[in-house]
Amino acid sequence: MRTILICAILAFGVITSSVSEAAQPARFNYQAKLTDSGGLPLNGVHTLTIRLYQGGTAGSANSGTQVYQETATPTFTNGVANHVVGTGTGQIPGALTASMLNTSSDIFLQIAVDDVSNVVLPRTRLESVPFSILSADGEARIPISQPGGGSFPITISQPGSYYLTGNLTDVGPGAGVSITTSGVKLDLNGYSIIGTGGGGTLGVACNTAGVKNLEVCNGRITNCNIGISFNNVSNAWVHDMNLSGNQNVGVRVGAGAIVEDCVANDLSSPTSNVYGIFVSSDSTVRQCQVANIQSAAASSNAIGISGGIGASVLNCSASNVGSIGTNTSVSGITVSNNSRVEGCIARGNYNSGSSGVTIGIAAGPDSLILNNVSTNNSAADSDSNGIRVGNSSLVSGNDVTSNTAVGASNFGVGIAISSTTRVENNNVVGNIGVSGGTGYGIYARFSSSSGNVIVKNTTIGHTTAGIRCENTSGANYHGENIQKETTPFSQASMVNVAGTGDRADVAF
């Protein structure tokens, strides 16, 4: 005697079209486990006669009014097979319709295995709820499968929890999964969304204004133009995703987002900007890795992690982010005003084209840059900075080493600041200019730079000076710095204030 145990029975209208409140689904995914009388899983092709009844009882075969029948011959592997009810053969009285499920009576799913008389009891009662049909004992999630004929996008237009039952392949052009409503969780369930590599291909996308509270997790999106495109979505949560192998963007989200435990490696574009992770204002990126991304076109930038106003980037790494085009900007991590970058690594980011700037970590005014490592960032024909911040920022506890600029009039700088910024307790070593370039450890870089406090730093081995202030009209304070430099301090005018006595800089 063979038995079927139902693991999950759910309906999901987006298998062939969008899910809408006005139209209950005409197809639903069915998963079964087939065992012999001893409980051992069976393999191979088995015939299932699938019937739906209005009314009747769970323990009585053929009870109630039969409203639908079809036959399916799925292949069982290790006792498990999937079938989309509504796509079988021998449909009676015709195609499955929503009206068959629209009743105040109980609806029972009846399965017979290999013989119409071999009915599995008890039958499973289906409960119709908005946008899904759930087994009474099943989980309240909605499955997504590869659509027949590759008819993407799969559109999710109602809130709920959705999951992949397998890979989605040959996605594009356009989106693999398009979300048009708030309150959706999409669990890739360890599977992948794989694009065709064409322009405009999106793994998961939402272009509907006002959408919020979306979650995407637990899988991989690759070979798309953009992995996850949530430009206008607020309060998104993207986690445990591998977004490697895409072209222009791994993930892009709107304000108030959290992106965590994600990887976005090996992105490249021959024609436009490249971003590993791009978040808007008041968002957080944590414990993410971006590596090996490159832009190639002129004036096309490459940024590992980019954050808007009020962003936090925590415990992330951005390495080998680069450009081979002309007149480009490269940054491992870039954030706007009022932001925080802490516990991150920016390493080996480069600009090999002409007139292209490289910055390991860049931040706008009023930002906190704390306890990071920025090292071996370089520019072949322009400035290279390990850390660069706007006015009124705090730069503390960072290790900034071996950032290099090539060529006359170019600056290799460890920490570049503007005004009213405190720089303290940093280790700044070996930031240099070569082939006629200038190298500074800490650099207040404008003639108007003033109000900076530069204290308790270590600077060693810079080409031109350990600390340089360009100001001509306002004071900066420096003191208690430990320096091993040919020129410990350089200034454009005498308005800078040096510490004295115990607060003086110490050269050795």
- Taken in order of first residue, the domains within the chain and their CATH numbers are 3-135 (2.60.40.1930), 146-266 (no CATH)
Q: State how far the Cα of 81 lies from the Cα of 69, in Å rounded to an integer.
A: 19
Q: How many Cα atoms are found within 13 Å in the side-chain-facing hemisphere of 72?
A: 22
Mean local confidence (pLDDT), 214-231:
97
Each residue's pLDDT tens digit, 17-35:
333 333 344 677 777 777 7
Is the pLDDT at 137 greater than 50, yes or no? Answer: no
3 state SS of 400: strand
Strand 48-54, strand 107-113: pairing: antiparallel
For residue 133, the model assigns a pLDDT of 41
State the sign of the Cα–Cα–Cα–Cα dihedral 15, 16, 21, 25: negative
Distances in Å between the alpha carbon of 197 and those of 236, 264, 404? 25, 16, 35
Q: Identify the CA nearest to 153 among candidates 140, 136, 139, 170.
A: 170
| Rounded Cα–Cα distance for residues 437 and 431 (Å) | 11
Angle at 47 between CA 45 and CA 51, to 5 degrees: 145
The pLDDT value recorded for residue 127 is 55
The owner of tokens 């920022």 is 393
Res. 495: pLDDT tops 50: yes
pLDDT per residue as tens digits for the range 265-291: 999 988 899 999 999 999 999 999 999
Asked if residue 353 has pLDDT above 80, the reply is: yes
What is the rounded distance in angstroms from the CA atom of residue 11 to the CA atom of residue 15?
9
Can you give the pLDDT at residue 252? 98
What is the number of other CB atoms lying within 10 angstroms of the CB of residue 160? 19
